[in-house]
Amino acid sequence: MTTRRRGVRVLVVHALLWSYAAVAFGPLLLVAIGSFRTNADILRQPVGLPESLTLDNYLRAWETASISTYFANSLLVTVGAVALCVAVSATAAYALSRWRFRGRALLAAFFLSGLMIPAKLGLLPVFYMYLSMGLIDTRPGLMLLYAASGVPFSIFVIMGFMRGLPTGLEEAARLDGANEGRLFVSIALPLMRPALAVVTVFQFAPTWNDFFYPLVLLRSDAKYTVPVGLTRFFGEFATDRATLFAGLVIALVPLALVFALATKQIIAGLTAGMSR
């Protein structure tokens, strides 16, 4: 009887999960299918399969609608911001979790206090600071802002992961004469790979999808990122739904690739604390 009840519970849980997946991914699937259909076919029958597969919609969105420019800007800003954030956070988290020095707890609290302050509340001082430094309407300025905004969360995740790792390998390497730089590169970085994957994905997605900062800090259409560029795209191609769907799919491709490639590392990083 107990086994039967467990089986029923498993079936109910699976049914609920598949129902949620259908609701969550159903619209995305319709958009992906619609990107291969003609606009006349979509207007005549909104839901349906393409009569023949064609990439004309993607070529039109990529070239005519300037999605290529927005995509390149977003890729440059997002990859640069995430790389800078992960590099700074990994080194800081390693020092705070492994080194013993006066003021270490205060410094860690200072970094983690950034989690309690919404970054958008400081936009006005950042705007005037950027204005005086000539960073308004520049992609490096946007990159630095995203990187700094993600440092507190990234340090929090990597520190928690590092504190759960044994120090035996590092102590053995010290006995062999390895300096701190060699310890960090050869021992710490490979061990913290799951945490770095978690931080990368959790910083990549909001940075790629952010609409607020590019709207405020950028002025040139040639420097717009995908979220801001899509607003102009929606206005110009409101009646051309096939091209609109193709542009949305192009904007979603990097996120899908990042999640697909980092899934195993994300699960390892999120469950590392529970497995100990």
- Asked, for residue 5, whether it belongs to a domain, the answer is no
CATH number at residue 214: 1.10.3720.10
- Asked, for residue 60, whether it belongs to a domain, the answer is no
pLDDT at 90: 92
- Asked, for residue 104, whether it belongs to a domain, the answer is yes
What 8-state DSSP symbol labels residue 184? I
The CA distance from 243 to 63, in Å, is: 11
- Is the pLDDT score of 175 beyond 80? no
Q: Is 269 exposed, middle or buried (0-12, 13-18, 19+ CB in 10 A)?
A: buried
**Confidence grade of residue 275 (pLDDT, cut at 50, 70, 90):** very low
The CA distance from 263 to 56, in Å, is: 32
- Find the farthest-apart pair of alpha carbons in the chain and give their distance in angstroms, rounded: 74
- Asked, for residue 25, whether it belongs to a domain, the answer is no
**Which is more confidently placed, 175 or 267?**
175
Contact at 8 Å (CB) between 237 and 250? no
Domain that holds residue 78: 70-271
pTM of the model: 0.82
**Confidence grade of residue 78 (pLDDT, cut at 50, 70, 90):** very high
- Asked, for residue 15, whether it belongs to a domain, the answer is no
- Asked, for residue 169, whether it belongs to a domain, the answer is yes
Nearest Cα to Cα of residue 214 among 226, 206, 204, 205? 226
- Is the pLDDT score of 235 beyond 60? yes
- Asked, for residue 108, whether it belongs to a domain, the answer is yes
**Confidence grade of residue 144 (pLDDT, cut at 50, 70, 90):** very high
Q: Which of 96-100, 101-105, 212-216 has the highest mean pLDDT?
A: 212-216
Residue 1: count of CB within 10 angstroms of its CB = 5
Rounded to an integer, the average pLDDT of 143-153 is: 92
Q: Which residues, in sequence order, are CB contacts of 163 under 8 Å at separation 6+?
A: 97
pLDDT at 26: 80
Mean residue pLDDT across the chain: 83
- Is the pLDDT score of 117 beyond 70? yes
Q: What is the dihedral of CA 96, 97, 101, 103, to 10 degrees?
A: 50
- Is the pLDDT score of 54 beyond 60? yes
Per the structure, the count of domains in the chain is: 1
Residues in the chain: 276
* Residue tagged 């997605």 (tokens): 205
